[in-house]
Chain A
Amino acid sequence: MGLSAPSDRDVVSYTPEGQEGWVATRLDFLVNWARANSLWPMPFGTACCAIEFMATAASDFDLARFGMERMSFSPRQADVLICAGRVPFKLAPIIRRIWQQMPQPKWSISMGACASTGGMFDNYAVVQGIDTIIPVDVYVPGCPPRPEGLIYGIRMLQEKVKNERAADKGTRDEMEPDPSSQLYIPPSLIDELGEPFGNSVNQTRSGL
């Protein structure tokens, strides 16, 4: 299926002690500590998940405890894109452009069933998971997730940020689909894999 990683990207056999010195690892620790505790979210709220997201940001659950009280309504100053709610196809180029406008380093959280998989909206108008448009770091399940669930996802993202290394250049690569890459899956194969679940051509629910 072509899902194995390219041979030139040595992602598995890495041992940090053998390659980086004390200064580099301590600097990583400091930078990651600062980044993880000042993630500025770009709220991309399109549906009821955004209500739970507002509740998370409000005083009861207080997102400010995790350094996220500053909602960045401009993607230029945002660190993490939180997609809360379903994304119709009409919004697909817009969320992709917002993602492209965010500066590195950047992360994204897919909040709720609809953003992660399309949820119950398995129809002509809704994107079946935003990971078909932008890369996603953390998926938060729920319909909608409770604020505790979102905070758990944010803590997971913070763990991920704290374990990143400046020396690992691969984490910041932005890959466009390249047909020559081993990671590339052609659309025909995607349709074949999705046939029993999401292909529109052969089945309709009304039976017409």
Chain B
Amino acid sequence: MSRFEVVKTGSSASGAPPTTQKNVPHRNGEPNPSAKALQEKFPSAIERVEVVWGETVVFVDAWSVHEVIRWLHDDESQRYDFLSDVTAVEYRDAEVPIEVVWHLRSLPFRRFLRIKAQLQKGTALEIESVYDIYRSADWLERECFDMFGIRFRGHPDLRRILMWEQYREGYPLRKDFPLRGRFSRSEQLRQALAQNPEARYSMEELSIADAFAELPEDMRERLSKGERTGE
């Protein structure tokens, strides 16, 4: 099978166009078939399954998330090949845990599944990265770390992505973060102006110097004349 071949299985096998469900109930709609398969495959890891507005939410034990998503991605009967979002939710009530959310989509089966894992407040907000399954998790997890402070174990380059790297006020989307930030306006501006715009490059980007011999001919010529991209 070539890499970009269009796969038609499941509900798309018949060639019928996708349909939009009508009169979807708020609760207790028909769950995604993957939820049942998950409950059979991982009986201890799946905490509960909810169906909200026709979309299935599977609550997974935080230690099993990586294993569950790996199975959903690899298994021939699931084939969740597209990770569309990684994010987190914090609720106002201090007792309600923080939820980390993965939005998975199976293009061959035309399915959508939402995986949630709960992290108790007051504990270390850490969870396994799914970067080794979906490369698109790279920036999504960085954004989640930037805004919520959730650390993804195994992420290759977990840095801030929206705020600058020297940002010291905390994690803006947490409920205990004041809307206008923690520092005064003049201090915020002073720190922002002190940031170095060139400091955003990762070690991988800087290692282009090591790969100089493998660059194309014209790029090597331009670089050898001292052309720079920064400043």
Interface residues in chain A, defined as those with a beta carbon under 8 Å from any beta carbon in chain B: 89-90, 92-94, 96-97, 122-125, 127-128, 132-133, 187, 190-191, 194, 198-201, 203-206, 208
Contacts and interface: CB of A to CB of B under 8 A. Distances in A.
Interface string B177-219: 1111111111111101111110000000000000000000000
B192 A127 contact: yes
Given A92-B193, A128-B185, A191-B186, 15 more contacts: A89-B192, A92-B192, A96-B193, A97-B197, A123-B179, A124-B172, A124-B188, A187-B186, A191-B184, A191-B185, A194-B185, A200-B179, A200-B185, A204-B180, A208-B175
A124 B180 contact: yes
Contact of A90 (B164, B175, B190): B164
Nearest to A128: B185
B163 A200 contact: no
Contacts of B187: 187
Given A125-B163, A200-B178, A204-B178, A187 B184 contact: yes
B121 to A, nearest CB: 14
A200 B184 contact: yes
A122 B180 CA distance: 7
A93 B184 contact: no
Interface residues of B, number: 28
B176 interface: yes
B177 A124 contact: yes
Contacts of B176: 208
29 contacts: A89-B188, A90-B192, A90-B195, A92-B189, A92-B192, A93-B192, A94-B197, A96-B193, A122-B179, A122-B180, A123-B180, A124-B172, A124-B177, A124-B180, A125-B172, A133-B193, A190-B185, A190-B186, A191-B186, A194-B184, A198-B185, A200-B180, A200-B184, A200-B188, A203-B178, A203-B180, A204-B178, A204-B179, A208-B175
B185 to A, nearest CB: 5
A200 B179 CA distance: 7
A191 to B, nearest CB: 4
Interface of B is mostly: loop
B180 A127 contact: no
Given A133-B189, A208-B176, A124 B181 contact: yes
A92 B197 CA distance: 10
A208 B174 CA distance: 11
Nearest to A191: B184
Q: Which 3 A-B pairs have the closest CB atoms?
A: A200-B180, A124-B181, A89-B192
Nearest to A87: B192
Nearest to A101: B231
A174 to B, nearest CB: 15
Contact of B184 (A122, A123, A125, A199): A199
A191 B194 CA distance: 19
Given A199-B184, A200-B185, A90 B163 contact: yes
B169 interface: yes
A172 B164 CA distance: 33
A130 B189 CA distance: 11
A90 B193 CA distance: 8
A201 B184 contact: yes
Contact of B169 (A124, A132, A206): A124
